[in-house]
Amino acid sequence: MTRRAMDPERLERELYVARRTIVEISPEPVRDLFRSAILCGSIREATDWERRAIDAVLVMAEPVDNGLADHAYCPLCGRGSSAPYSGGFVYPEGLTRHLEGRSARRCPVMEQVWGLCIDAVWASGNDPRSGTPL
């Protein structure tokens, strides 16, 4: 790999652009909320944002039409439970765990948008705990 390819600033910039692209191609009902991830200035704001984002995604989920009314696939990444014949995640508990990352594999879309949120907290120059300027 070339030195240019390994340049940390370049990689950081490219990650940011890739994450912003994910936001721009996310479903319309959550796009503006995802765009606001970059406005988080404290851990509290970030966790509040995450709660609102998860709630908005849960609203978008549609029941799986296979007799399993309490199951749904992730509206962001299309994944479902890895359990055989599950027909999606148990709704809402399993889908919530997928979005929060409390399951084996966090939603890859949420993970990247959450990364924007956390990076914004650190870039804000605020104390991450209180949200007040350092």
Nearer to Zn ion, 41 or 80 (CB): 80
Contacts with Zn ion in 46-75 (CB under 5 A)?
74
Least Å distance between CB 46 and Zn ion?
19
Least Å distance between CB 6 and Zn ion?
30
Compute how many residues bind Zn ion; rule: CB under 5 A: 4
Q: Which amino acid is at 116?
A: L
Least Å distance between CB 77 and Zn ion?
3
| DSSP three-state, residue 96 | helix
**Binding string, 98-127, against Zn ion, x = CB under 5 A?**
---------x--------------------
Helix axes 108-123, 8-24, angle to 10 degrees: 120
- 77 contributes a contact to Zn ion by CB under 5 A: yes
Where is 116: in which H helix or E strand? helix 108-123
Nearer to Zn ion, 15 or 77 (CB): 77
Closest CA to 103 of 54, 56, 60, 67: 54
Other C-beta atoms closer than 10 Å to the C-beta of 47 total: 12
Determine contact, residues 72/64, Cβ cutoff 8 Å: yes
Give the residues lining the site for Zn ion (CB under 5 A): 74, 76-77, 107
